[in-house]
């Protein structure tokens, strides 16, 4: 009888990532009458176009996330997107749901399979069409969750959890949140002006019964002319005289992302670029009532597993579901609100946050910043997750002089 082939963990690399421009949810948004699955299909096709050295048959898995898995975001979206993108019928696929961290989880899922040796190359991404499918559409939360006081009712409303975070940490004031939000808008505007965002955007043809044909080329949500005075005057919809507003939180958005993840060996064999190496990752649970705190213990766990400290992280891409959530992370780790290592291109407050798609946007932007700044060896992408979770992924910069030496963790 033959013995099974021994397994040796393999390094996992981020090859390339793209996204659609993000739109405003609702009938006035640019994707109002565009299908959700067509958005992510466009991203997958663009990845294949941008990487002609990758034979389509070498893509062995397609993992696509959606928070609301219904309608044109349902029906095993990863498999359907693979078929409709022109990948071979032999390419399998599946759907992922970890709310806001769906695409992040799609990446870590396929990374685990690659590290184990089950596959060599995969596509991972996410899509959310919040105009067609509002968060929570068609769900039926078990009444015991509230009746048995497993969570406070506010845990099921993300904006209320952000207000709870303000309550728990009084130093995280509305004024700080507004100032942070203004910075996000200005950084995104500067990134667009400097041509940092455009290289990884996929133009999307749109059609509307009344408006006719269009072409989505830039993000729709940014408000670059915002002022602190504007932000100070906004309503607080989740609580009278509260702290969370439409100006210091991400909006309701439509959009999609996708990326190529591969083993280091497969990337070398196929001549694919290596834009980041996966160092380690962690997902954790926290009290659902303060779900925005989730990235803190997630980052601590990932850092501990990697043998690194927060001081080793030279760049952060933190998802800005709410300004207070990012501020809680920064304050915990002793990082200034305006630290230049954090969200250099702005964040979700300005760009938009189509829930399950956002994790890959963070990764794509971090990869672009790694190319610009070879002095940085490690970066982190992190985000809070609804129902009380957090996720963090640590990446290594292949442009750094010490890349690959003295690695701290297997992916």
SS3 88: coil
Q: What is the DSSP letter of 7?
A: P
CA distance 348 to 322: 8
Enumerate the H helices of 347-398 as residue ranges: 348-351, 358-372
Sign of CA dihedral 345, 349, 351, 352: positive
Q: Is 399 a catalytic residue?
A: no
CA distance 177 to 307: 32
SS3 93: strand
CA distance 359 to 339: 21
Q: Which of 129, 133, 166, 353 is catalytic?
A: 353
Residue 401 neighbours by CB distance under 10 Å: 9
Residue 76 neighbours by CB distance under 10 Å: 14
Q: Which of 100, 129, 133, 259 is catalytic?
A: 100
- With a CB cutoff of 8 Å and minimum separation 6, the contacts of 51 are 15, 16, 260, 272
Element (H, E) at 190: helix 174-193
Structure tokens at 255: 């959009």
Q: Which of 43, 129, 166, 384 is catalytic?
A: 384
Q: Is 353 a catalytic residue?
A: yes
Q: How many residues does the chain have?
A: 411
CA distance 330 to 318: 10
Asked if residues 274 and 404 have their Cβ atoms less than 8 Å apart, the reply is no
Cα–Cα–Cα angle for 386, 391, 396, nearest 5°?
155
Q: How far is CA 139 from CA 70, 74, 143, 278, 369, in A?
A: 10, 14, 12, 34, 38
Q: Is 43 a catalytic residue?
A: no
Q: Which residues are catalytic?
A: 100, 353, 384
């Amino acid at each position: 009888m033959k013995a099974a082939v021994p397994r040796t963990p393999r390094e996992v690399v981020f090859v390339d990532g793209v996204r659609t421009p993000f739109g405003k949810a609702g009938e006035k948004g640019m994707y109002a009458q565009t299908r959700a699955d067509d958005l992510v299909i466009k991203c997958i096709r663009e990845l294949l176009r941008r990487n002609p050295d990758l034979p389509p048959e070498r893509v062995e898995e397609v993992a696509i996330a959606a928070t609301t898995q219904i309608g044109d975001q349902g029906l095993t979206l990863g498999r359907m997107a693979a078929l409709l993108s022109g990948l071979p019928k032999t390419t399998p696929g599946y759907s992922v749901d970890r709310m806001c961290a769906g695409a992040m989880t799609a990446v870590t899922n396929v990374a685990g399979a690659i590290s184990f040796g089950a596959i060599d190359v995969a596509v991972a991404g996410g899509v959310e069409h919040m105009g067609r499918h509002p968060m929570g559409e068609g769900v039926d939360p078990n009444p015991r969750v509230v009746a048995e006081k497993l969570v406070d009712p506010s845990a099921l409303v993300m904006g209320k959890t952000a207000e709870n975070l303000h309550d728990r940490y009084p130093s995280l004031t509305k004024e700080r949140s507004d100032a942070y939000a203004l910075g996000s808008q200005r950084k995104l505007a500067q990134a667009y002006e400097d041509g940092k965002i455009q290289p990884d955007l996929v133009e999307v043809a749109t059609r509307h019964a009344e408006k006719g044909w269009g072409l989505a080329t830039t993000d729709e949500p940014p408000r670059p002319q915002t002022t602190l005075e504007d932000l100070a005057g906004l309503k607080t919809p989740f609580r009278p005289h509260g702290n969370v507003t439409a100006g210091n939180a991400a909006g309701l958005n439509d959009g999609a992302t996708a990326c190529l993840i591969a083993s280091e060996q497969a990337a070398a064999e196929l001549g694919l670029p290596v834009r980041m190496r996966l160092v380690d990752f962690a997902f954790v649970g926290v009290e659902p009532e303060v779900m925005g705190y989730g990235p803190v213990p997630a980052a601590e766990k990932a850092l501990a597993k990697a043998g690194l400290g927060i001081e080793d992280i030279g760049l952060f891409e933190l998802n800005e579901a709410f300004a207070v959530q990012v501020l809680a992370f920064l304050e915990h780790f002793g990082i200034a609100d305006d630290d230049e290592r954090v969200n250099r291109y702005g964040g979700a407050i300005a760009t938009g946050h189509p829930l399950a798609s956002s994790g890959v946007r963070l990764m794509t932007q971090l990869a672009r910043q790694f190319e610009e700044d070879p002095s940085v060896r490690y970066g982190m992408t992190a985000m809070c997750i609804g129902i009380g979770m957090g996720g963090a992924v640590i990446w290594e910069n292949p442009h750094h002089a010490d890349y690959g030496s003295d690695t701290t963790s297997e992916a």
